[in-house]
């Protein structure tokens, strides 16, 4: 593998980790913190809307899973090495 591909794979890996962390933090913050504030202040009408909004953050997990699948395919890397060699 040439250095450019290794660098690109590392950048994608960091993006993978960063997107998972941001999506999970968004879900946790929206459900726990904002939902608890609404519930404790008595504005319970907004709690289901807030939970629904926080679940939209899960959309960001699908590209992350696809990137992770693309990064960790040793068979395709081995096949490319055989073709290049």
Per-residue pLDDT at 77 exceeds 60: no
Select the more confidently predicted residue: 83 or 58: 58
pLDDT in the model for residue 37: 85
Mean pLDDT of 38-67: 77
pLDDT in the model for residue 34: 81
Distance CA 32, CA 35 (A): 5
The pLDDT confidence band at residue 57, using thresholds 50, 70 and 90, is: confident
pLDDT tens string 1-50: 677 877 877 887 788 788 788 878 888 888 788 878 888 888 878 777 77
Q: DSSP H helical segments within 1-57, as ranges?
A: 3-28, 35-41, 46-55
């Amino acid at each position: 593998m040439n250095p450019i591909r290794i660098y690109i794979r590392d950048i994608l890996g960091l993006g993978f980790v960063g997107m998972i962390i941001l999506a999970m933090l968004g879900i946790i913050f929206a459900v726990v913190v904002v939902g608890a504030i609404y519930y404790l202040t008595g504005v319970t009408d907004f709690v289901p809307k807030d939970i629904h909004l926080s679940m939209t953050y899960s959309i960001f997990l699908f590209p992350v899973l696809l990137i992770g699948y693309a990064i960790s395919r040793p068979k395709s890397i081995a096949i490319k090495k055989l073709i290049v060699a």
